[in-house]
Structure 1
Amino acid sequence: MMDSGNPRVFKEIQVEILDAIAYVTIQRPQVMNALTRVTKKELLSFFQSANDSEDYRVIILTGEGDRAFCAGTDLKDMANFSSIDAEQMLWLEHHLNDSIRHCRKPVIAAVNGNALGGGCLIPLICDYSIVADSAKLGFPEINAGLPASIEIAIVHSFVGLAKARELIYFGELFTPQEALDMGLINRVVPKQDVLATAKEVAEKFMAKSPTALRLQKELVNKWIETDFISAVETSIYAAGLAFTTGEPQAAIAKFLSRPKKMQKGNQS
């Protein structure tokens, strides 16, 4: 990591500062950049400190490798969860998502590969999202015995209630072009152009007044947060309740017992 103002070393993410842009990379390509509690805590720590840093003006968030941007929460992290464990993990993820949405600097999602579950939510809460044309997107939580929760509460504001129900009830994957047509993302580009396009967008942000951008972000968040917190709290409780049934644990155990080649693309 290169940050002259606050040198730190992370285990599961990397931060590089170049030309006033912070490139934040999730570094777990062996599991499609699925997030453990460690990953979430590191990302949360970075975004909480981003507001006070003068070393960069824009953040680009991406995943390592060419297979995935982020496959959501690592199922191995949840295999033996109790109800309390599930709620604590989801509160942590909500705090991370909230730190991204409320970061005073523009955050660009450079989606270089598959984005699933919580990983598919990240582009929705960033200020701008660029997705590789070969990626697969979706909210497959229900296929692991879980209700989709936390920031999924805003999806209906993008696509309408009927389409939101379809996306989360069936957990089927969709293409970047479909996501663009639904208004979930901003751009679809060839995989090799994702980071370069993100840099171009970052430069457009940097041409604007930092103060005006910060105030505009605050206003946009106000527009979409009407009763949002109540929706998040209710969804966290529902997900925790699911773990009291034993169904998520059974679905996860079944998934983890499959041959590795069959596990690709099925993180939640």
Structure 2
Amino acid sequence: MPEFVLTEKRGNVGIVTLNRPQVLNAWNTAMRVELIEAFDAMEADAAVRAIILTGAGDRAFGAGQDLNETKTFDADRAEEWVGEWERLYDRIRSLSKPIIAAVNGVAAGSAFQVALLCDLRIGHPGVKMGQPEINSGIASTTGPWIMREIIGLAHTIDLTLTGRMMDAEECYRIGVLNRIVPQDKVMEEALALAEHLAEKPPTAMRLNRQRFREMTEAGFRDALAAGVRIQREAYASGEPARMMEKFLASRAARKG
């Protein structure tokens, strides 16, 4: 039974929920594997015509990578890690059905990237989104690729180098969020939009998503190749491990 990802169906809409709320739905390898399996099942189910991705709880869509996992990586494990992201991102990109991100709370780092890989994003006034990976010593490769596709190079450079988080208003202004509704209405709005998309002709929908994938495929593959090269160099330097330990110690001190 899946432990970290929940699935349900409401009519012709499939809902996939990241389910590690105690760590703000941060990713680990097991969650990534379960998420791919959930998307495989949704893709294979002819009754599902649209998909919603969300996070459990009201604090986070996802906090990004679980640093307790990556702080122990060496260069070889970092290369395997890039391969895990390739499989997940490729699964999202190759879906024949539209996917909506129902963003609750924080969407940071790789969770921000996954939200951008979704076709549409709905959030609320308390949403915080961004690419803070540099703050924990993680170099960004897939992040800048997908951010540039959605929001352009200038915003990508800003967010990647500063590591700052955007509020909902800025996200909406630059096209990261398509709609802002009250927090208790996010899933309701996502369901209404998913049901609207589910009524569209499925072959046209599949071909449209296929074309979006084709248009961005070269950049995606370049980002993955760069990811292997850059993450090997980064983790061989030892800097990510040092920065993650410092970040985790600082967070523990704040909680204490």
TM more than 0.5 = yes
CA distance in 2, matches of 1:77, 1:118: 14
Show the 5 A alignment for 1:62-81.
62-81=54-73
CA distance in 2, matches of 1:77, 1:247: 15
CA distance in 1, matches of 2:222, 2:251: 40
Question: Equivalent residue of 1:257, what SS?
Answer: helix
Read off the aligned partner of 1:202 and give its amino acid letter: A
What CA deviation, in whole Å up to 9, does each residue of 1:129-169 have, x standing for no partner?
11122011110111111211225312123222222111101
Matched, 1:150 2:142: yes
Return the TM-score normalized by structure 1: 0.90
| Coordinate RMSD, CA, aligned | 1.5
The aligned counterpart of 1:3 is: none
Matched, 1:176 2:168: yes
CA distance in 2, matches of 1:236, 1:175: 31
> Does the 8 Å CA contact 2:14/2:42 hold for their aligned counterparts?
no
Quick one: which of 113, 136, 156 aligns to 1:164?
Answer: 156
The aligned counterpart of 2:181 is: 189
Q: CA deviation at 1:257?
A: 2.2
The aligned counterpart of 1:207 is: 199
Q: CA deviation at 1:260?
A: 3.4
Q: CA deviation at 1:177?
A: 1.6
Quick one: which of 13, 23, 33 aligns to 1:21?
Answer: 13
CA distance in 2, matches of 1:151, 1:117: 7
The aligned counterpart of 2:41 is: 49
Matched, 1:92 2:84: yes
Q: CA deviation at 1:108?
A: 0.8
Name structure 1 gaps, 5 residues minimum.
Answer: 1-8, 264-268
Quick one: which of 111, 115, 121 aligns to 1:129?
Answer: 121
CA distance in 2, matches of 1:10, 1:242: 32
> Does the 8 Å CA contact 2:13/2:198 hold for their aligned counterparts?
no
Return the TM-score normalized by structure 2: 0.94
Name structure 2 gaps, 5 residues minimum.
Answer: none
Quick one: which of 64, 78, 96 aligns to 1:104?
Answer: 96
Q: Percent identity?
A: 34
Aligned length: 255
CA distance in 1, matches of 2:253, 2:206: 44
Read off the aligned partner of 1:243 and give its amino acid letter: Y
CA distance in 2, matches of 1:259, 1:229: 35
Matched, 1:12 2:12: no
The aligned counterpart of 1:6 is: none
Question: Equivalent residue of 2:45, what SS?
Answer: coil
* Larger helix share, 1 or 2: 2
Q: CA deviation at 1:259?
A: 4.8
Read off the aligned partner of 1:252 and give its amino acid letter: M
CA distance in 2, matches of 1:50, 1:195: 18
CA distance in 2, matches of 1:240, 1:198: 39
Matched, 1:119 2:134: no
Q: CA deviation at 1:256?
A: 2.2
Matched, 1:248 2:240: yes
The aligned counterpart of 2:229 is: 237
Read off the aligned partner of 1:44 and give its amino acid letter: I
